[in-house]
Amino acid sequence: MSDSSAQPTTRLGKVSIIASDLSSSGAGRWKGAVRPFLLAAALKQLGYTVEILGFIDDPSKANFATDMTVKALAGGTYPRFFRSAQQLMTQLDGNIIYAYKLKPSSFGVALLNRWWTQRPIPIILDIDDWELSWHGGDQGSYPESWRQVVRDVIKPDGALRQPDHPLYLRWIEHWVDKADAITLHTKFLQKRFGGHYIPNGKDTDLFDPDRYDPEASRAKYGLAGYKVLMFPGAPRPHKGIEDILTALDQLNQPDYRVVIVGGSPYDNYDQALMQRWGRWIIQLPKYSYDQMPEVVSAAHAVVVPQRNSPIAQAQFPLKLTDGMALAKPVLATRVGDIPDILADTGYLVEPDSPHQLAEALKSMFSSFSAAEAKGKRARERCIRHYSITAMATELKPILERLTQSDAVSNAMSFE
């Protein structure tokens, strides 16, 4: 089974996906590689017309290397954001609305559109992260004082003018039951919000190892002569990159390198890593989605050393399926759904354990042919369970239920 199979012969309707942030630090970062674009690809395979709409600081800088219909509108803070939301709503013409992320700027806009138009358009809510985990989780609190509230509302740069302030994220969690269906990609999120498990799919035709020459890729990207441990994503503390670098300190093998692709668009964490572990790091720039398979093909292994935190538990690291689809050995930690995703096709160690990472690397490279065999099994598993086709298979009954049912009247009530 490949992602080019079972192409639709008829169009079933139109789905409008609302993405809260289409900027280079949001869903626009990796273009076709991130969740809204994966959902769109699966929906198109099922026979739906799809559009993606969302907000960006400067629409003139929007550049999406994809054949998807993408409409990027200027966002902003309150009260300007209400005008931005209204402009987006005037362009929504799907007969199903798919809100990506449990945020006012996506799910909130979908609910506002339903109330404003008085049309019972089915809404699917996709939750790919526990947004409050970035703000103290259930223990987070606001405000400290009413004086702070007044300042945060009145000041032009006041915190409460941000559409997705943590206070509003907390409020909108109480509206989850207004969605006609919920999709998510981890058991952590499913336990918290209910809904249907839809894993992140990978274009396993594009990420086909037979299309790329690892040695040629290593030469092209300046990686020849190294044992390449690829980290294709934005480093952040919860992703455990410090642990894999500490493991390299322990091994002290001069030919090991952690190759970070893209870097962090959020802060200067990359620079902090370079200052301490620069001898082990090679930084590559951000590449287009179509280029990424060739880049990742240069890896000897893909590393996903997540730390055990609520942030990490709620996530489905796309790096996993990058490596799996390309038949690369994957070294990861037992955090969240990672053990279920990899099963016996990768190397798993406990989180926050540089020593175990070091031992796993020694084992991997002492018998690299066995590691490559694991990689081949990982690709087979990815095609079965984590391809775009597998994603479409899980989505199909949800869409069929919504398009065949008029049971959305409960969502029209906003008590």
The answer to whether the 14-201+389-412 and 209-385 domains have the same CATH topology is yes
Are 58 and 74 in contact by the 8 Å Cβ rule? The answer is yes
What pLDDT was estimated at residue 10?
43
What pLDDT was estimated at residue 232?
92
Of 93, 119, 283, 293, the residue nearest 210 (C-alpha): 293
Helix (H) or strand (E) holding 392, with range, is: helix 388-404
What pLDDT was estimated at residue 2?
52
Of 43, 14, 35, 36, the residue nearest 317 (C-alpha): 35
What pLDDT was estimated at residue 172?
97
Tell me: the pLDDT tens digits for 362-391? Answer: 999 999 999 999 999 999 999 999 999 999
What pLDDT was estimated at residue 408?
41
- What's the per-residue H, E or C state across 106-151? HHHHHHHHHHHHCCCCCEEEEECCCHHHHHCHHHCCCCCCHHHHHH
Are 172 and 108 in contact by the 8 Å Cβ rule? The answer is yes
Which is the CATH superfamily of the domain at 209-385? Glycogen Phosphorylase B; (3.40.50.2000)
Domain range summary for the chain, segments of one domain joined by +: 14-201+389-412, 209-385
What pLDDT was estimated at residue 63?
67
Of 113, 119, 123, the residue nearest 85 (C-alpha): 113
CA dist., res. 144 & res. 364, Å (int): 51
| pTM for the whole structure | 0.89
CA dist., res. 299 & res. 231, Å (int): 9
What pLDDT was estimated at residue 57?
81
Q: Name 263's bridge partners.
A: none
The 196-197 sheet, strands edge to edge: 69-74, 49-56, 14-19, 96-100, 123-127, 181-184, 196-197
User: At the top level of CATH, which class does the domain 14-201+389-412 belong to?
Assistant: alpha beta
Q: What is the DSSP string of 217-251?
A: HHHHTT-TTSEEEEE-S---GGGTHHHHHHHHHHH
What pLDDT was estimated at residue 218?
98
CA dist., res. 317 & res. 333, Å (int): 11
Helix (H) or strand (E) holding 259, with range, is: strand 256-261
State which residues of the chain have pLDDT below 50.
1, 4-10, 406-415
Tell me: the pLDDT tens digits for 229-265? Answer: 999 988 999 999 999 999 999 999 999 999 999 888 7
What is the distance, to the nearest Å, from the Cα of residue 107 to the centroid of all Cα atoms in its chain? 17
What pLDDT was estimated at residue 266?
77
